[in-house]
Amino acid sequence: MSPTSKVDELSSIKSAAPVDRSNQSDVAYGALRRLILDGALPAGAQMLEQEAAARLNMSRTPVREAMVRLRQEGMVEIRPRHGMRVLPVSARDMADIYDVLTALEGIAAETVARKGIAARPLAALRAAVADMGKALDAGDLVRWAEADERFHSQLVQLSGNTRLIQMVGQLWDQAHRARMLTLQLRPTPTNSVIEHAALVDAIASGDPLEARRIHEDHRRRAGKMLVELLERLGLTQL
């Protein structure tokens, strides 16, 4: 297991829905997606249908379907004679992604604050914030990232808006590699605990506009920091 596996487990909402009726198509989709998120297939890596089929011990048909899905989610492109190719994520892409994420998670926060939040999910949010603090104290960035993702994931889920949930998940997946990469390079997210706590307070007190404002500011800052970091490091591709 790679050191990032714990974070990866929570990196997408989809992974919360286990595959009951397992068909090969879903298996292929899950496996390929995981290879990409874990970095086993880095940006630019190519994989032929037959390669994947052989590796996963199935025929090309379900593999093709999985690739179609991954393409539609913006994870790979499909080039006629080169199989699928993992799309690199440029600094520009990250800027675009964070712009959209800012807006989407903003209304998620607003919606949750407006609908009101029950005791149990509120406690879960507070627990995630607490974990972030503990992880920072211990200097464990991976655990911090895990708690951070858990917080954001829960928040979006609480909105109850299916489309919102799906789209945010998709964007997270696309940004995942870059976030993991910069985890060790970025300045320590000292403020994150305070910011998240403030957001929770706004939600708990039923202040939709404030919740949205806080979360948007938060995401905007995080995005800006990340993009500048990538540009500074010349990491235009990953």
Partner DNA sequence: AACTGCATCTACGTATACATTGTAAGGAAA
Partner DNA sequence: TTTCCTTACAATGTATACGTAGATGCAGTT
By the criterion CB under 7 A, which residues form the site for DNA? 23-25, 48-50, 58-62, 64, 78, 80-83
The set of residues, in sequence order, having a beta carbon less than 8 Å from that of 94 and lying 6+ positions away, is 175, 178, 223, 226, 227, 230
The residue among 52 and 135 lying less far from its own copies, judged by its C-beta, is: 52
What residue 201 binds from DNA, its own copies, none (CB within 5 to 8 A, per partner kind)? none
Minimum CB separation of residue 164 from its own copies in Å reads 5
Cα–Cα distance between 4 and 18 in angstroms, integer? 21
Q: Is 201 one of the binding residues for its own copies (CB under 8 A)?
A: no
Q: Is 130 one of the binding residues for its own copies (CB under 8 A)?
A: no
What residue 42 binds from DNA, its own copies, none (CB within 5 to 8 A, per partner kind)? none
Q: Is 178 one of the binding residues for its own copies (CB under 8 A)?
A: no
The residue among 80 and 139 lying less far from DNA, judged by its C-beta, is: 80
What is the three-class DSSP state of 83?
Answer: strand
Cα–Cα distance between 115 and 70 in angstroms, integer? 33
Q: Which stretch binds its own copies (CB under 8 A): 5-13, 51-59, 72-80, 145-153?
A: 72-80
Instruction: Give the ranges where 138-191 is alpha helix by DSSP (H).
Output: 141-159, 162-183
The residue among 31 and 142 lying less far from its own copies, judged by its C-beta, is: 31
Q: Is 103 one of the binding residues for its own copies (CB under 8 A)?
A: yes
**85 pairs with which residues across the strands?**
46, 77
Place of tokens 């109850």: 160
Place of tokens 């789209």: 167
State the Cα angle at 227 between 224 and 72, rounded to 5°: 110
Minimum CB separation of residue 100 from its own copies in Å reads 5
Q: Which stretch binds its own copies (CB under 8 A): 81-89, 102-110, 131-139, 194-202?
A: 102-110
Q: Is 171 one of the binding residues for its own copies (CB under 8 A)?
A: yes
Q: Which stretch binds its own copies (CB under 8 A): 46-54, 60-68, 189-197, 222-230?
A: 60-68
Minimum CB separation of residue 33 from its own copies in Å reads 13
Cα–Cα distance between 142 and 17 in angstroms, integer? 23
Burial 105-123 (b: 16+ CB within 10 A, else e): bbbbbbbbbbeebeeeebe
Which H or E element spans position 53?
Answer: helix 49-56
Cα–Cα distance between 94 and 38 in angstroms, integer? 18
The residue among 84 and 128 lying less far from DNA, judged by its C-beta, is: 84
Figure out which of the listed residues 31, 35, 43, 100 binds its own copies, where binding follows CB under 8 A: 100
Minimum CB separation of residue 74 from DNA in Å reads 18
The residue among 37 and 129 lying less far from its own copies, judged by its C-beta, is: 37
Closest-CA residue to 210 (of 223, 224, 195, 222): 195
